Structure 1
């Protein structure tokens, strides 16, 4: 069978996490070897990554994308329970449900932090990790810390004002991102996600967790964020750096061609020789 003809599987998985019922919207593709598992950022959906199906460099490679609880087409019976630890447990539940023992990880922003915590907890299952501006230090909370700096008891109002603040940001693709945030994430999920992101970034010793990962890792960032204070620390610790030109926090919107090229080059070097692993 031509790998380009492999059909995408769209399905909903019913799982329970900490007693909370979830209906998780997924898209995946079968193929040889361990799949690439993609975790999207806050205010985004699995569709951020679906262009992998059109990338010649990944022809025939299996992958899994899904909407996080409270986002996209995934429903959650109790939005107030959602946090980064909850998202990590969701990832584990989805992987267990689909019978995926080992995998490559790619995560952006919120998804990058979720992926880092998952990789830290289960390093023997992860084959490689691409972190696209996931939180590793307090300075990364330029979005999530607004739950503190612009505190509000009105969840819908906070999300609307958050979207407007991001829309006015001078960073590349901010307006494109902002216009759809309120359609992609439920307001009731925001506080738990943001508060846990801030807490982990401030107190979770994330840099040490990242540098201790025992498999190939890459940190991807937009050219506009090349002043991040910890880039040299990551490089010195053996993490590959990938700067995406003409981009800010959302390279999949600003410069997807360069993003996919760098991910493909990284995977070409980090895939095991045995395709069944």
Structure 2
């Protein structure tokens, strides 16, 4: 595992990478988290012969947090494609979770020739968000206190042991750092005011005719209802929705080896499909 800075259009981010050769896999994290949530997944994916990469979205983690950045899913999708450009990766498997799933889907729709497959883990952007849910998310991302972070992580993980005190304090400090709260607030505003104008479900139906698209949900996801996953799997003609037992909204954290096993099986099928 290595990490290094990378600058795209004047915005510097942190990249984590495991493996130097093989097909590239780009992992996109969700709202108010960061690249290191994928650390165990990167390590396991690299052992399978892939070049596994994650990065901090602008406004998150150790990335820059410019006030004038376009903090929308489409703006972050453009940055994601910029990461591929800066790393000189012509095409990659894209894996995104939660808001990162929405971002990855928009990146794949914008540049399908850059995407070998698209794997979405309980993503946003598939179904209209109610005003109540949007306001709850906006309040949550603006509360970077220790207790606010503790409450948020209680909804992310089923196994409370993953919400360690170190993680809670670290997340509070990072999300309360200079520029972070303003960036997260801008994303909260986007989710309330504009996310429903960038839904991807209909476009994914067309994309899935030419590009392998996969879904995965945690059986106990408290953030994005399983009903959305079932409806999307049906619309995409994927059959039964793949679900991981005994995990919540972050199956890649709670059971990283099984997560990689599920993804690699999908990627293998995607390669055969190609």
Post-superposition Cα deviations, 1:165-209, rounded to whole Å, max 9, x if no partner, equal: 425549615771882432343211112222323445423232112
- CA distance 1:254–1:79, shift in 2 (3 Å): farther
For 1:198-277, list aligned pairs within 5 A. 198-199=192-193, 201-213=195-207, 214-225=210-221, 228-236=226-234, 237-239=236-238, 241-271=241-271
SS in 1 for 2:95: strand
1:77 matched to 2:75? The reply is: no
* Structure 2 CA distance for partners of 1:54 and 1:190, relative to 1, 3 Å: closer
* Structure 2 stretches lacking a partner, 5+ long: none
Equivalence map 1:94-109=2 (5 Å): 94-109=83-98
CA-based RMSD: 3.1
- Hey, what does 1:11 align to over in structure 2? 4
Query: Are residues 200 and 266 of structure 1, via their aligned partners in 2, closer, same or farther at CA, if it must alter by over 3 Å?
Result: farther
Contact 1:35 1:61 in 2 (8 A): yes
Correspondence for 1:181 = 171
Cα 1:173–1:250 shift into 2, 3 Å = farther
Give 2:127's match in structure 1, choosing from 106, 121, 137: 137
Q: Given the superposition, is the C-alpha separation of residues 30 and 141 from structure 1 closer, same or farther in structure 2, using an over 3 Å criterion?
A: farther
Q: Distance in 2 between matches of 1:87 and 1:107?
A: 12
In structure 1, which of residues 166, 181, 184 is the aligned counterpart of residue 152 of structure 2?
A: 166
Separation (CA, whole Å) in 2 of partners of 1:170 and 1:109 = 11
Q: Distance in 1 between matches of 2:243 and 2:70?
A: 35
1:90-139 Cα deviation digits (max 9, x unpaired): 11222111111111000111111110111111112211111111111135
Number of equivalences: 257
Q: CA deviation at 1:220?
A: 1.0
* TM-score scaled by length of structure 1: 0.79
CA gap 1:53/1:88 in 2 versus in 1, 3 angstroms: closer
| Per-residue Cα deviation, 1:35-69 (whole angstroms, up to 9, x for no partner) | 00111112222112222343278432112211111
Instruction: Mark the runs of 5 or more structure 1 residues left unpaired by the alignment.
Output: 1-7
Please tell me whether the aligned partners of residues 46 and 66 of structure 1 are also in contact (alpha carbons under 8 angstroms).
yes
The 2-side partners of 1:232 and 1:77 are apart by 37
